[in-house]
Structure 1
Amino acid sequence: MQNKINKLTLAIAAAAAALSSQAMAGGFQLNEQSVSGQGYSHAGRSSNVQDATIVFGNPAGMSFLDRAQVTGGATYLNVNSDIDNVESSTSIDSGVAQGGTPNGVQFPLGPVSGSSDGDMVPGTAVPFAFYAQPLSEKVHFGFGVYAPFGSKTDYEDDFQGRYFGNYTEVKVISAQPTLSYKINDQLAIGAGVTYNQVEGELRRQLPTSAAFSSEGDIDARVDGDDDAWGYNVGIIYRPVPETTLGLTYRSKVDYTLEGDFEAIAPGGNVVRADDATLDLTTPETVNFSVTQQMTDRLELMFGASWARWSRFERILVEGSQGDTITNEEQNYANAWNFAVGAQYQLNPQWVLRTGLALDNTPTNDEDRSVRIPSDDRRIFSLGAGWTPVPDLTVDLAYSYLTERGTSISQSRDDSLNELGSVSYSADYKNEAHGFGAQATYRF
């Protein structure tokens, strides 16, 4: 029995890696690459040229910066989750319960012991830094370091859904050198490459007895990393001075995560250690936005983003001997984000911003997991920029994110192997507050 549980531990840890390596916006991407853009909910991501963060938003936009500048900042995310209407159950194979061999007949034992507090996402700061430099009248160079994906959930030790996942931490860091070319005063193009590093740690629990007690659980965990290359291209067109259109494409990135897998028994004894690989593709995205100058002081913006999440169809993990450990359907759907925003120049020193975004999730009700219990989002934002001297601007922003209430329903007959089966269901309601600050210095 122990050997079967050990093999199962490896499979469960590997499957968890696939689920949590998608980080958080439109489900799992991060939008935190610009605080000036955060103020209007990134409605003008590809068309509104504010500062050096346009290196990420649209590389072509560097051509409309009048001088060299550097921008750096961060957004602090505070996430709150409520978990209600929790139901769980456990059962044991009646043959095993009678001291014999499994016979496939389940005998109900009762709910999973433990709690479902919901306080599982710690506060996190997401930093970024960008630099843009004119090389000639037509050519600009830019460089950026930012986090396009990332997530962390850390449930309490006796979380009732711990047999489906109780800890996830994934970080993706990208470095992007970029060039733009200004064809004329109306049209510019840009392109860049991205070097991306991903790493993460994931945990899940396995019971060792029919008591289903957290004190006796096996801690199945995985940590791994990889690096890979991608690219991005963009175009900006100004048919008239008051109207700016922007289009940006960011490529998919293919990873092969290689990691260490361990199953740790109570007391710290390692009962299983192995290697495994997981192929993972983060999706390509397309963003279109328009910025319209309504008056000398007022700008309005609209943006639409599309992510090809349908690439994530299944979790396929291979063991150290090339054997298939798990192959589970996920059936993600392509997802859209829509945003509107406004920017008002109050006076030469102050600009005020606001925006609203609707962010659709790629997950579906059937496959949604306790690791990623998210749904469609609405994001309301306010922001301001202060320029005390022509060379320096300080931007601040606040965003409130509220998700549609969603339900999780998971059950597994094979995860407990000879012991039996377990299920967990609950209603989740998530909200988040984002506090951003950045500074831009021009020289």
Structure 2
Amino acid sequence: MHNNFKKLTLAAAVAAVTFASQANAGGYQINEQSVSGQGYGHAGRSSNVNDATIVFGNPAGMSFLDRAQFTVGGTYLNVKTDIDNAEYTPMLSGTGGSTAEGDMVPGSFIPFAFYAHPVNEKLAFGFGVYAPFGSKTDYEDSFAGRTFGTLTEVTVASAQPTVSYRFNDQWSVGAGVTYNQVDGKLHRQAPTPLAPGLNAELDSRVEGDDEAWGYNLGVIYQPVPETTFGLTYRSKVDYNLEGDFSASSPVLDQLGVGSITDTASLDLTTPETVNFSLTQQMTDRLKLMFGASWVRWSQFDEILVEGSQGNTITQEPQNYENAWAFASGGEYQLTPTLALRAGITLDFTPTNDNDRSVRIPSDDRRIFSVGAGWTPVDDFTVDVAYSYLTERSTSVEQGGPTDPRGQFSGDYKNEAQGFGAQLTYRF
């Protein structure tokens, strides 16, 4: 019984970390790598060269900068979640929670820093540090769906050296290598039969990390000075997450069993993305931008977790779909020192109704943004931006009558506000 007990709880906990990491990359893929770009909804991410954040937006754009510059900043995200009609039916008596308070996403600050250095009119180098993926959900201890997840914290940090070369007035290319590190923490309450008539909820915890390499490619085409096309490709990144698992319970302590520990491994792949954008200078003061992003999520069709002996712990279909996002925005140069920005973004989820989880209960989004850039002197610019995100109301249904975790259902409505600020200094 002891060995079966370990396999059951390990499978539940490790499956949770796999799903949360992957869902986070789709449902909560971070866009906060530029506050100047945030102001117009990142519509011109691959084509609008404003500052050193173009190192991330499109490495080919560095060679369009007139001098070296350093940009640092970040965005604070404040998320609000309402949960209605939450219901939980346990398979095992004495398990499951009773509350659904919502607002389980703590406020978080997402920083970034970029440096771009044109060597001459053709060649430029750059470097960036940023977060491409990350999320945190933290439910109350008595959450009705706590057997499916209570705490999910996943962070990916990337460092990117970059080079750009401009062939002529029309064409420029760029490439960057990314070093990526992922860290994850996941908690849940795992209902487990310890003996006939004796059930317990185990505090299951998984921590894991890995590091891997990827790359970015970009091209810019400017047929006339007023029109700029940009195309950026970001590679997939393959991780092999090594995790430590532990499960504890007062009932185990009373039985003299103590905490249970084990190891497990799983393969993660964050998908490749393609971004295309157009920047059109309409007048001396006004420019408009349009952007489209595509993420190849269709390669994520299942969760496959292997145990310490190489055995298959769990194998669950996910059936993700390729995801699109579209953005339109503009910038108006009100005075020689002040630029005003606005944009709207439509971001479509890769998840489906059957596989949506309490860990990342997201759906299609609409994002409305405004911003401004103030340049009091030629060497220094301050950018600020505000974004309001609203998601389509969605439902989560997990488990079933024969699932040892029980059955949970609830309706979710997510909203978020983003407050961004950045500083750019030109040398």
Superposed pair shares fold, TM > 0.5: yes
Q: Partner of 1:375 in structure 2?
A: 363
Deviation at 1:49, TM superposition (A): 0.2
**Shift of residue 87, structure 1, vs aligned partner:** 1.8
Change (3 A) 1:267 1:343: farther
Distance 1:18 1:149 in 2: 14
**Do the aligned partners of residues 181 and 49 (structure 1) sit closer, same or farther apart at CA in structure 2, a change above 3 Å counting?**
same
Q: Which residue of 1 aligns with 2:89?
A: 89
Partner in structure 2 of residue 331 of structure 1: 319
- Distance in 2 of aligned mates of 1:149 and 1:403: 18
Distance 2:332 2:24 in 1: 30
- 1:259 deviation in Å? 1.2
3-state secondary structure, aligned to 1:370:
coil
* Paired AA for residue 329 in structure 2: G
Aligned to 1:134: 118
Partner SS state of residue 56, structure 1: helix
Aligned with residue 385 of structure 1, among 373, 376, 380: 373
Shift of 1:413: 5.1
User: Between the two proteins, what is the percent identity of the paired residues?
Assistant: 69
Q: Is 1:196–2:180 an aligned residue pair?
A: yes
Relative to structure 1, the CA distance from residue 248 to residue 379 in structure 2 (aligned partners, 3 Å threshold; closer, same or farther) is same
Aligned-residue offset at 1:267: 7.7
Does the Cα contact within 8 Å between 1:128 and 1:145 map onto a contact in 2?
yes
In the superposition, relative to structure 1, how do residues 62 and 79 fare at CA in structure 2: closer, same or farther (>3 Å)?
same
Partner of 2:282: 294
Q: Distance in 2 between the 1:287 and 1:365 partners?
A: 26
Answering whether residue 259 of structure 2 is matched by residue 271 of structure 1, we say: yes
3-state SS of paired residue (1:164): coil
Aligned to 1:422: 406
Distance 1:23 1:314, change over 3 A: closer
The 8 Å contact of residues 95 and 191 in structure 2, kept in 1 or not, is answered as: no
1:335 and 1:136 map into 2 onto residues whose CA distance is 39
Residue in structure 1 matching 2:339, options 342, 351, 360: 351
Give the corresponding residue for 2:307.
319
Return 306-315 or 349-358, whichever deviates more: 306-315
2:298 pairs, out of 302, 310, 314, with 310
* Equivalent residue number for residue 285 of structure 1: 273
Residue of structure 1 in register with 2:51 after alignment: 51
- After superposition, the Cα gap between the structure-2 partners of 1:308 and 1:250, relative to the gap in structure 1 and judged at 3 Å, is same
Mapped contact 1:126–1:147 kept (Cα < 8 A): yes
CA 1:205 to 1:124, structure 2 compared with 1: closer, same or farther past 3 Å? Answer: same
Deviations 1:196-238 (A, max 9, x none): 000110111123579xxxx952111110000000001000011
Is 2:113 the partner of 1:125? Answer: no
Report how many residues are paired.
419
CA RMSD in angstroms comes to 1.8
Cα-to-partner distance string for 1:114-170 (whole Å, 9 max, x where unaligned)? 200012100000000000001232110000000000010000001000011111001
Deviation for aligned residue 1:111: 9.2
User: What's the offset of the Cα at 1:2?
Assistant: 4.9
Distance 2:200 2:14 in 1: 22
Q: For the residues of structure 2 that align with 1:86 and 1:120, how far apart are their CA atoms?
A: 14
Secondary structure of the residue that 2:22 maps to in structure 1? coil
One-letter identity of the residue aligned with 2:299? R
CA shift digits 1:376-425 (9 cap, x unpaired): 00000000001111100000000000000000111145653xxxx61110
The partner residue of 2:228 within 244, 247, 257 is 244
Q: Deviations over 1:76-113 (max 9, x none)?
A: 00000000011221244xxxxxxxxxxxxxxxx69944
Change (3 A) 1:53 1:23: farther
Structure 2: 5+ residue stretches without partners: none
8 Å contact from structure 1 (residues 6, 271) kept in 2 = no
Does residue 41 (structure 1) correspond to residue 44 (structure 2)? The answer is no
CA distance in 1, matches of 2:301, 2:63: 39
- 1:167 aligns with 151
Q: 1:25 to 1:17 in 2, by over 3 A?
A: closer
Deviation at 1:6, TM superposition (A): 2.4
Matched, 1:182 2:171: no
Name the structure 2 match of 1:408. 396
Seen in structure 2, the aligned counterparts of structure 1 residues 188 and 72 have a Cα distance that, compared at 3 Å, is same
Change in 2 beyond 3 A, CA 1:163/1:373: same
Separation in 1, partners of 2:111, 2:19: 24
Contact 2:293 2:326 in 1 (8 A): yes
Residue by residue, what CA displacement relative to the aligned partner does 1:14-50 show, whole Å, maximum 9, x if unpaired? Answer: 1111112136575221000000000000000000000
Separation of aligned partners in 1, 2:167 and 2:26: 34
Give the gaps of 5 or more residues in structure 1: 93-108
Question: 1:136 and 1:251 mapped to 2: Cα distance?
Answer: 28
2:424 is equivalent to residue 440 of structure 1? yes
**TM-score normalised per structure 1:** 0.91
Residue equivalent to 1:97: none
Counterpart amino acid of 1:333? E
- The answer on whether the counterparts of 1:299 and 1:344 sit within 8 Å (CA) in structure 2 is yes
| TM-score, scaled relative to structure 2 | 0.95
Task: Indicate whether 1:225 and 2:209 are aligned.
Answer: yes
CA contact (8 A) 2:300 2:318 kept: yes
Partner in structure 2 of residue 100 of structure 1: none
Residue 153 in structure 1 maps to residue 159 in structure 2: no
Secondary structure of 1:22's aligned partner: helix
For 1:151 and 1:268, locate their aligned partners in 2 and report how far apart those are by CA, in whole Å.
Answer: 32
The alignment status of 1:6 with 2:6, answered yes or no, reads: yes
Change (3 A) 1:343 1:67: same
Change (3 A) 1:396 1:323: same
User: Matches of 2:47 and 2:30 in 1, distance apart?
Assistant: 19
Distance 2:306 2:370 in 1: 46
